[in-house]
Amino acid sequence: MQRDNFDSERGTVSEDVRERHREIADAVLSEEPYGQLIGGEWVDSETGEECAAVDATTGETLATYWRGTAQDVDRAVTAAQAAFDETWGSYNPMQRADALDDVADALEERKQEIARIDSLEMGKANQHSLFVDATIMISQFRYFAGLARTADEGRRPSSASNKLAYTSREPYGVVGQISAWNFPSMFVAWKMGPALAAGNTVVFKPSPRAVLSTLEVADVMNNHLPNGTINVVPGTGPDVGARITDHPEIRKVSMTGSTAAGKSVMEGASSNLKALSLELGGKNPNIVFPDADLDDAVEGALIASFFNQGEQCTAGSRLFVHTDVREEFLEQFTEEMERLTVGDPLAPMTDIGPLVDHAHLDRVQSYVDTAVEEGANVLVGGGTPEDPDLAGAPFFEPTVLTGVDNDDTVACDEVFGPVVSVIEWTDREEMIEMANDTEYGLASAVWTTDLDTAHETAAALEAGTVWINTYNDLFDNVPHGGYKQSGLGRELDKEAFESYRQTKTVVLNQGKLPRIG
């Protein structure tokens, strides 16, 4: 049994790597098929099928799970509604906070295992899955536990002397959440943390490309929450995702994924005008000014371009470098790239693991090939590594393209791989115009030692986040989200928490109503 989009016929990596992965998989994963979490119980899909969760590096089956259907979503919504009506929905903020803190404590004990699962299934370097993803996952639950304790439950606006007006902030009830495959465990906390803290119950769909860490995290959470508070239904977008977006009893949907998927969710959610939060794609400008500290700018560009194999919506895949420092920057940048280790994601010093599967490898390669056809030059990389120990697995070299025009395909589309396009610039206004000339607006960065330049450029950029002399800095209490077709709403911050609450206004008249006529 293999995952639908993994080509096992291309061969796999060395036997040593395969054996290491088998040992770790046996230690951290269930031998029995993973069910769906519905109403506090792990159950099989009524009409679905058993699917394989595949090791991104070796192509071998890690575990199996039941693929959900629209009918399973209906069961999950019923369970979530019951939990909202009978248990979790009646918890006060302190009780919700205590439960989320218990969840965080329990996940802390499983942190290393969960990180390894993401490295196995998605190919993420373990140093990143452990020290970034799993760490942020736990801190998010703690952060939203704190918000549950301290957030305003409403206010009392000023009113006439004979009237009393007040507001209350109330949960939606059952919310649907659809996650992406590139940060599987972390996105569970990004989404469930604020939703649960605000008092909602959840029906959650992980990506079929990386489902196992979500199921393991949900199992931990389920031990500390009332039955039905969280429900997880793995499955495809056309079946499970579509039913979540159009289900009449789900009043809000949050989705992380591509812009195309976001538009599909918006269409489905229009059936009953659901509230939406969408964290979508990006084609983000990373701008180097001539006065930048090049050591820092180069390090930042490495993070922007190659962290998580470039499989990140915030990737700084359009690297705008000023003419005056272009040669020096690229020389230093390519030298630093040589120290990046491409290899087994479970090896402690690996920086770049495999892409999630061969279908995605083909997609990334096609963008590089198209770029060359359109006139770009491959300065570094451009294909699969020659290391025989990695042969057959979906690895892709860190790649730098020069001679790229801002309207080339590779500069317009989200490649979602370790590919960066260098765009040379001289005129600041023209550069900003190019930086903003995209349908996306998720993130951006500015490298300069001049604070006026930094703040003026930040103000001019059409992006939800602008980093200055840093990259991918995401904090618990700083909102993250996009402009334009990069999405709606915000993650991480109090804004995310508030997006899971709706306002009720109550006006009490304590005097006589005026008579008409």
Cβ contacts of 26 within 8 Å, gap of 6 or more = none
In our burial notation (b when 16+ CB lie closer than 10 A, e otherwise), range 64-84 reads bbbbbbbebbbbbbbbbbbbb
Cβ contacts of 246 within 8 Å, gap of 6 or more = 268, 269, 271, 272
Compute the distance between CA of residue 6 and CA of residue 99 in angstroms, rounded to an integer: 38
Question: What sign has the CA pseudo-torsion 43, 47, 50, 51?
Answer: negative
How many other CB atoms are found less than 10 A from the CB of residue 476?
A: 16
**Options 279, 397, 414, 462, the catalytic residue:** 279
Quote the Cα angle for 316-360-189, to 5°.
Answer: 65
Q: Report the Cα 439 to chain-centroid distance in Å.
A: 19
Number of H helices, E strands in the chain: 17, 19
Q: Which residues pair with 67 in a beta bridge?
A: 49
Task: Specify the amino acid at residue 47.
Answer: T
Compute the distance between CA of residue 224 and CA of residue 350 in angstroms, rounded to an integer: 35
Question: Strand 318-322 relative to strand 377-380: parallel, antiparallel, unpaired?
Answer: unpaired
Q: Report the Cα 498 to chain-centroid distance in Å.
A: 19
> What are the φ and ψ backbone dihedral angles of 274, each rounded to 5 degrees?
-65, 150
What tokens does 427 get? 């005129």
Told to judge if 113 belongs to the known catalytic residues of this protein, a careful annotator would answer no
One DSSP character per residue, 323-387 reads HHHHHHHHHHHHHHHTTPPBS-TTSTT-SB---S-HHHHHHHHHHHHHHHHTT-EEEE--S----
Q: Which residues pair with 176 in a beta bridge?
A: 203, 253
Residue 136 contacts residue 186 (beta carbons within 8 Å): yes
What tokens does 142 get? 């703690």
Residue 174 contacts residue 200 (beta carbons within 8 Å): yes
Question: Strand 61-67 relative to strand 49-54: parallel, antiparallel, unpaired?
Answer: antiparallel
User: How big, in percent rounded to 5, are the helix, strand and coil portions of the chain?
Assistant: 40, 20, 40
Residue 372 contacts residue 388 (beta carbons within 8 Å): no
Closest by CA position to 462, among listed 447, 441, 448, 445: 441
Q: Which residues are catalytically annotated?
A: 279
